[in-house]
Amino acid sequence: MASQQENDKQLAAQAAVALLADGMTVGLGTGSTATAALHAIAARKLSITGVPTSRQTAELAMALGIPLADINEVPHIDITLDGADEFTVSLDLIKGGGGALLHEKIVAVRSRQLVIMTDASKLVERLGKFRVPVEVIPFAVRYVQEQIAGMGAACTVRPDVVTDEGNLIVDADFGLVESPSALGARLKSITGVVEHGIFAGIATLVFMGDNGTVRRFPQVSGS
């Protein structure tokens, strides 16, 4: 039997998939909630073109019969549906718990809308309980760790993870984050950092499954 959390992820995924229409080009996120969305897309027999954010998602989409296109072959992406590890009511996110943050962010910034699907455990007042994943070129990993330590954060290289681009993930604990965009900019300026999992000002909508109902952020007045 599915847990309440899995059920809530599915409800959020169904709410997001309800925004799709035939003919759309859709960014396909990575992770368990994005997987629920893929199944919901297949169940609706929608005629969309998917742009996957990971090998794992591409494989599942192909198995479900969802046609795919290379991101560089599509003129635009109408909407992307993805999960998150944390989000705030201002729609700032931490992503990358599954190691797919780089392709996820590239697909997200090319999309007209980024719709996030989560369960209620992902809503936080301030980002930072979840360690910030940072994608790093292997040659630079020691230097990047030293720089992050110099910023006052403990960090570790995620064991046994190599990203789709052949990079490593460093998980960094900055504590609660005052300014997600400022932290993101600082991380991005470190030589050898390819990308980080702070998505500030990119998401347009969040559907959060909450004990059998779906809440949306930003909240519509009266909800």
Ligand X SMILES: O=C[C@H](O)[C@H](O)[C@H](O)COP(=O)(O)O
**Residues from 93 through 112 that contact ligand X (CB under 6 A):** 95-101, 104
Q: State yes or no: is 146 an active-site residue.
A: no
3-state secondary structure of 86: strand
**Residues from 65 through 84 that contact ligand X (CB under 6 A):** 82-84
Catalytic residue among 86, 104, 135, 195: 104
86 near ligand X, rule: CB under 6 A: no
CB of 84 to ligand X, least distance (A): 6
Show the binding pattern over residues 111-150: x = contacts ligand X (CB under 6 A), - = does not.
----------------------------------------
Cα–Cα distances in Å, from 166 out to 60, 70, 100, 102, 217?
21, 19, 11, 11, 35
Please state whether 27 falls in left (phi above 0), alpha (psi between -120 and 50) or beta: beta
Return the range that interacts with ligand X (CB under 6 A); candidates 16-24, 69-77, 92-100, 137-145. 92-100
Closer to ligand X by CB, 114 or 140: give it: 114
- 193-196 sheet: strands from edge to edge: 154-157, 168-173, 132-136, 193-196
**213 beta partners:** 210
CB of 115 to ligand X, least distance (A): 12
Token pair for residue 117?
Answer: 């699907």
Token pair for residue 192?
Answer: 């050898």
For the annotated catalytic residues, the residue numbers are 104
Tell me which residues touch ligand X (CB under 6 A): 29-34, 82-85, 95-101, 104
